[in-house]
Every structure is written in structure tokens, then in C-alpha cells.
Amino acid sequence: MNLGFIQPLIAVIIPIIGAVIIRILDEKNAYARHAVAVASVSIVFLSVVTMYPPALRGALIEFRLVELLDGMGIIFRVDQLGMVFGLVSSTLWVFATVYSIGYMAHEHEQRNYFVFFVLSCSAAMGVAFAGNLFTLYIFYEYLAICTYPLVVHAGTAESVRAGIKYISYSLGGGALVFLSIFMIHDLVGTLDFMSGGILDAVSPEKATMLKIIFYLLIAGFGTKAAIMPLHSWLPGAMVAPTPVSALLHAVAIVKAGVFGITRVFFSLYGRELLGDLNVTGVVAVVISFTIIVGSLMAIKQNVLKLRLAYSTIGQLGYISLGVLLLSEAGITGGIIHIINHAILKITLFFCAGMIITVTGRKNIDQLHGVGRQMPLTMMAFAIGSLGLMGVMPTCGYISKYYLLTGSLDAGMPVFAYVILTSSLLNAIYYLPIIMNAFFKKGEFKRQQGPEAPLTMLVPTVTLAALAIFFGIFANYTTIPFIEAVVATIF
């Protein structure tokens, strides 16, 4: 009996079962809690991996859970674009869960932390494999609700304020998506995602309505994608435990936003309709502004996690800008940066978490010479930083190459200058950290034994190695995968 069609449902349900088991377990039973958490996300990862070959071939894996109204139900469908987000999220969730074991070892409320940490994986899988806009909206909101307790985990007044701001922005953006759902359903009677879009059948007389819906959706998903001026929730969310910050910035929340935008472009509107409506220019300007200003604001930050947070705002713009170019190379660069940025940024946040755990230092000006005490950590940090600058042979170079080529192919060299300027700003705010860590005298000294808990160090070093691997062997790994995705758009 072929049960392949329920695999996306399995990817969503397994973390829910795992979270229930963790909640039932005794708070003091850390070993069982960790085992269930790692097992849950590992099963999700394996489920996604088994769906990869048929998805790459273009085979349809679909499961219709419930039909609420005609053309509006909860549908799971695995396609190439969804597989990008699903594979990245499920892979990095395994790393982040293992890392959390070391990071949370001496923290309070560990059981609740792992309950919502695992539940959030379920929501991310729902976003990845949503077969229509309604399902995407449901899991988009589910993800916000699951991650809210993680943001406020510290229980301080600061974390509560950050959590309220985060959930307000998330639900506010979701409300715009919800409004768009009924407008689209009224126009075409369906919300299903299709290669090439579903809105091209709408009468040209309703072009204004299509433009309004487009901007509503961009604003709705743009809240999680931290497009300025909808970005202010993101820096405040840094009060969350570092593994949560890593998922917020590298995997789950912000990537759900840019993934939603990409779905709007190519599964609702389609490349040709976007060109006919002439709506991408304004958004491209706003995103270019976000890229530059986010990078400038990163330079000003002395708190390491805040600098990484503002860096994320700029880096996310690369993804949206790439797909907005509507050229083959630009779209390739934007989508491949979903993968590359995730690997590089989660590496940087893991490094920041180890520095905080081992040294207690959070400010950049307190880290002079830290590379002597934590050489592997700072080597991994250097690889992640160089990757986001676009330096060979890291995977970040691949993204920048395609984005620059895509800008020129689209006849829009101004966006190439935006990317190059941002890369220079990346160097300005990352290189001093690396140089001071290794070459400036400080109070840090080399110590015997592991420089950090192995459950934190091993995932971090492994991810840094993957950043190099996917840079050197991109032609055999990520590029063929993304080219298959882009082929469905053209």
C-alpha cells in the first residue's frame, strides 16, 4: 500500500505528538525530554528527505485534510518550491534541537521550552507544504502562536514587551493575508497554489483589484520578512534564548515571510502577470532601502545578537529582491539564498550563544582576544561572516553571483550596486569582530578541554563546514535543486 501521499501530514503531526509526550514527562526527566525532542524533529527530517526525490522529478504529493468551503480547505501539497523551505527547516531544526540541549542545560522551564520548540517545527512544515493560501495562512499564524512563548521565555518585563510586539506584528500581518484570501476567492473561486499562478485568468478590467491584493499580501508576509518599516519587532525578539533567535532569523519566522512572498509571486500571480501589472518596481525600491538601511543599522550595534539581527533584515532583502527581478538568474539567486542564508546565519547565532554561555559576554567590545579561548567557535563565526559577505569559497558567494547576474540580465544594474554596497557594509560590521577576536589582546586565554559544551560546538562546526561544502560543490548540490525549482516558473 502506497502511503506516500500522507508524508506531508506526517511531517506536521509528528512534532505535535512529540510535544504532547514532552509535556507529559516529568520536568526532572531531562534525558527522556531531550530524546523525544531530537527523535521528533529527526523523524520529520527523514520524512521530508523521502519526499525529496519525487518532488525533484515533479511528482505530485498531495493530501486534502478538510474542505471548509468550495475552493477553500486545508491542503498539503509537496512541490519543488515547498521542498526548499521544508528541507532547510527540517534539517536545521535537528541541529537547533541538539544545540538547545547544551544551551538550556541550566535554564528554567526547560519542559515548556522544548514543547513549543518542537511544536514550532510542526508549524514550519505546514507552511512549507501548504497547498493553498488558506493553509499557508493557518500555519503562518500557528507558527506565530507557537513561537510567542519562546520569545517571552525569560519571563522578564523586557521579554514580555518584545513578545507582545512580536505577536502584534505577526497577527496584524496575518490579518492582511486573511483579507486577501476572501478577495482572491471571490475573484477566482479557488486558493490553490499552481505553477504559473491562478490569477492570470482574472479579467484585465480587475487589474486594480489584483494590485490591491498584491500589496496587501506583500505587507502581510512582509511583517515576518522584516521589510522596513515592518521590521521593528525583530531586534526586540533577541531577548529569546539563542537557539530561538537562530530559528527566528535563519529558519522559521523570517523565512516563512520571504517564502510567503515567493509563493505570492509565482504560485498565485505568476511571472507574466506580475510583469503585466507592473507592481514589482515599488516593492523592489522598498526592499533595496531595507537592505541598505538594515546594514547601516547593524554597524551601529554593540550587542552581538543585535548586530546579527539587523544583518538579517538586510540579508532577507536579497531573497525578495532576487525573485522581484523576474530574471532566471535573479530568481535562482533569491531562492538559493533561502538555503545559504539559513546555514550561514544559524552558524553565527550558534557562535553567539556559545560565547554568551562560556564567557557571559554579550557586547562586541568585550570580545577582544576571545578567539584564543574559543578558536573553533570564532573560526565558525568567521566562515559565517565571510559567507554573508559573499566571499569564496563559501555558499554565500553563490547567492551573490546569481543575484548580481540576475540584476544585469533584468536590465536593472542599480540593484547590482545595492547588493555590492550591502556586501561592503557587511564587511564593515563583521570583519572587526573577527580581527579583534584573533589579533587583539584581551583577557581570554586558551584553556584545556572543549571550549564549549559538545552539544553546542559540534552542530556549529558542522554547519560551518557545510557552508564551505555547499560553496565548493554547489554545482552538484544546491544549484541543480534550485534550477529544477526555477524551471517550474519559466
Does the pLDDT value for residue 475 go beyond 50? yes
Confidence of residue 2 (pLDDT cuts 50, 70, 90): very low
pLDDT tens digit sequence for 236-288 = 888 888 888 888 778 778 889 999 999 999 999 988 898 889 898 899 999 99
pLDDT tens digit sequence for 96-115 = 999 999 998 888 888 999 99
Residue 4 grid coordinates: 506516500
pTM above 0.85, yes or no: yes
Q: Tell me the average pLDDT across 391-414.
A: 95
pLDDT tens digit sequence for 158-176 = 889 989 999 999 999 999 9
pLDDT tens digit sequence for 314-335 = 899 999 999 999 999 999 999 9
Higher pLDDT, 418 or 451: 418
Write down the number of H helices and E strands in the chain. 20, 2
Whether the bond between 53 and the residue before it is cis, its omega within 30 degrees of 0, is no
Measured CA angle at 294 (ends 292, 297), to 5 deg: 110
Does the pLDDT value for residue 1 go beyond 60? no
SS3 sequence of 182-210:
HHHHHHHCCCECCCCCCHHHCCHHHHHHH
Give the pLDDT confidence score for residue 489 in this predicted structure.
Answer: 86
What percentage of the chain reaches a pLDDT higher than 70? 99
Does the pLDDT value for residue 179 go beyond 80? yes
pLDDT tens digit sequence for 54-78 = 988 888 888 888 888 777 889 999 9
Of 101, 95, 86, which is closest to residue 8 (Cα–Cα)?
Answer: 86
For residues 342 and 256, give the distance between their C-alpha atoms in angstroms, rounded to a whole number.
12
Give the pLDDT confidence score for residue 252 in this predicted structure.
Answer: 78
With contact defined as beta carbons under 8 Å apart, do 306 and 235 qualify? Answer: yes
Q: What is the mean pLDDT of the chain?
A: 91
Give the pLDDT confidence score for residue 4 in this predicted structure.
Answer: 55
pLDDT tens digit sequence for 456-469 = 999 999 999 999 99
